[in-house]
Amino acid sequence: MGVLAYWSTVTATSGAAHTSEMHNVSVDEYAAQEGKCAQVHLPTGRMCTLPHGHRGSCVFIPAEVAHELLAHHGTEERQ
């Protein structure tokens, strides 16, 4: 499968919850389900909370802060 075919397959899925990244140890599953990049910098445990599929480099923040932001974001959406 070429790069174009892979990209088409990944972008055709509905949401990050159905991508192969969900089974990667360097991806936070909860953050990925919330539509975030969710890449984890393994040596530090910091996480990227930019949108899934963002352009450019990841921006890593402390995992505790990332989970607080995700919890707050989820609470706002349920209201």
DSSP state of 10: H
Among candidate residues 42, 23, 44, 41, the one with its CA nearest the CA of residue 33: 23
pLDDT at residue 72 is higher than 90:
no
Question: How far is Cα 40 from Cα 16, in angstroms, rounded to an integer?
Answer: 15
- Paired with 41 in beta bridges are 46
Please write the tens of the pLDDT for every residue from 11-69: 444 444 455 555 677 999 999 999 999 999 999 999 999 999 999 999 999 999 999 99
pLDDT at residue 7 is higher than 60:
no
pLDDT for 75 equals 52
Average pLDDT over residues 2-18: 42
pLDDT for 27 equals 92
Q: Do residues 46 and 62 touch, judged by C-beta distance below 8 A?
A: yes
Give residue 40's identity as a one-letter amino acid code. V
